[in-house]
Amino acid sequence: MTAFNTSGNMARCFALAAAALALPGCDAVNEAIDAVDDIGNDADVFYYVSLGDSLSVGVQPNSNGTLLPTDDGYPDQLFDQVKADFDAAGLNRELRLVKLGCPGETLDDMINGGSCLYLAGSQLDAAVDFLGDNTDKVLLLTIDIGGNDFRNADCITDSVDFDCVAEVSGQIATNLASVLEALKGAADPSTTIIGMNYYNPYLSSWLDGPDGQVLATGSADAAVVFNDAMTSTYATAGLPMADVYAAFESDDFVTMVSSPNGTLPVNVANICAFTYMCDAPPVGPDIHATVAGYSLIADTLAGALPASP
């Protein structure tokens, strides 16, 4: 996601990290791996395709604070859930996970190409090609995108610029609508496409005292505008959306709970528990989800699926 990041250097660092993490022509690499895997395998192969930013590839900081992709992300955990139901049918078929996401990706990057390299040109082009090459074989496609667009606008610094929030949220909605239209046009009617909105890591500023608490409450108002724009866009496209913002109880400043950081509003405690935003350096503060956070996202996506694939 690299979204809602409160570290000033994160954007520049992540642009470099993304280039290092991406395999050149990763869409072609995935297809080549599939071709090798299919040798001697007469199972009917289906796919779950994950699109998006760093959350879609399970990025987490290691003990030195280096951001790396992992197999603990929400796509990996959702894949395990979907595959269990898929395999339970007892048919001669196989489900595979294909990750086409890119750390640091914005909507403009997704459409026009960014720091990750795709033979097709962009992440969206790669996804459209994959959907076309595997007609009626893509069981599920998930997407998280837009968070980096919000962060790059710098609407939230030591205060919240609500004019900026409204403007960038509108632009995100416009660009997201174009992406969803392209995916729907390329996908087989049997493919389930589902998106998600975002949690609010700015809530961690609550720990910084009275001024931080003012920023946290202001960020919650801004996050509602941003996430409402995304919700409306998915609804207009006729696609389901997992309400990750709600799953993190992002609006609840009233319910107080005990946490390692003391008694906190539940939304702040959840950001501390489900991301690295409240961790000390070098691991934190970092906006990416913990394993538990990715698990919550996966469960939220699973619960929003219109039917078991």
At 35 the pLDDT is 47
At 308 the pLDDT is 55
Residues 240-267, mean pLDDT to the nearest whole number: 97
Token pair of 247, please? 């799953």
Is the pLDDT assigned to residue 20 strictly greater than 50?
Answer: no
At 306 the pLDDT is 86
CB-count burial class (<10 Å; 0-12, 13-18, 19+) for 36:
exposed
Provide the whole-model pTM: 0.88
The residue ranking higher by pLDDT, 143 or 34, is 143
What structural domains does the chain harbor?
A: 10-304 (3.40.50.1110)
Residues 172-185, mean pLDDT to the nearest whole number: 98
